[in-house]
Amino acid sequence: MRRRTLICAAGFAAIAAAVFAGYWFTRPHPRIDGATLWQIQPGMTEQQVIDIIGAPPGNYGLGHGEMETWTELMKILIEGPKPRPWSEEQPVRLTIVKDWLGPDQGIRVHFDLEGKVASAEIHAVWREYESHYDMLLVWCRLRDRKPRPVFVSN
Count Cβ neighbours within 10 Å for each residue of 108-126 and write b for 16 or more, e otherwise. bbbbeeeeebbebebbebb
Quote the number of domains for the chain.
1
Asked whether 98 and 57 are in contact (CB, 8 A), the reply is: yes
Asked whether 98 and 91 are in contact (CB, 8 A), the reply is: no
Residue 18 placed within a domain: no
Phi, psi of 6 (to 5 degrees): -65, -40
Residue 131 placed within a domain: yes
Q: Could you list the residue range(s) of the whole structural domain that residue 117 is in?
A: 30-139
Residue 135 placed within a domain: yes
Vertex 78 angle, CA 76 and 82, to 5°: 35
Instruction: Give the length of the chain.
Output: 154
Q: What is the pLDDT of residues 86-95, one digit of tens each?
A: 445 555 567 8
pLDDT at 27: 65
Residue 4 placed within a domain: no
Residue 107 placed within a domain: yes
Residue 98 placed within a domain: yes
Residue 62 and residue 46: Cα distance in Å, rounded?
25
Residue 146 placed within a domain: no
Asked whether 88 and 110 are in contact (CB, 8 A), the reply is: no
Tell me what percent of the residues of the chain surpass a pLDDT of 70. 73
83, pLDDT greater than 50: no
Extended strands (E) in the chain: 58-59, 65-67, 96-101, 105-111, 117-127
Residue 111 and residue 127: Cα distance in Å, rounded?
26
Local confidence band at 98 (pLDDT 50, 70, 90 cut-offs): very high
Q: What is the pLDDT of residues 22-73, one digit of tens each?
A: 766 666 679 999 899 999 999 999 999 999 999 999 999 888 888 887 655 4
Residue 38 placed within a domain: yes
pLDDT at 84: 42
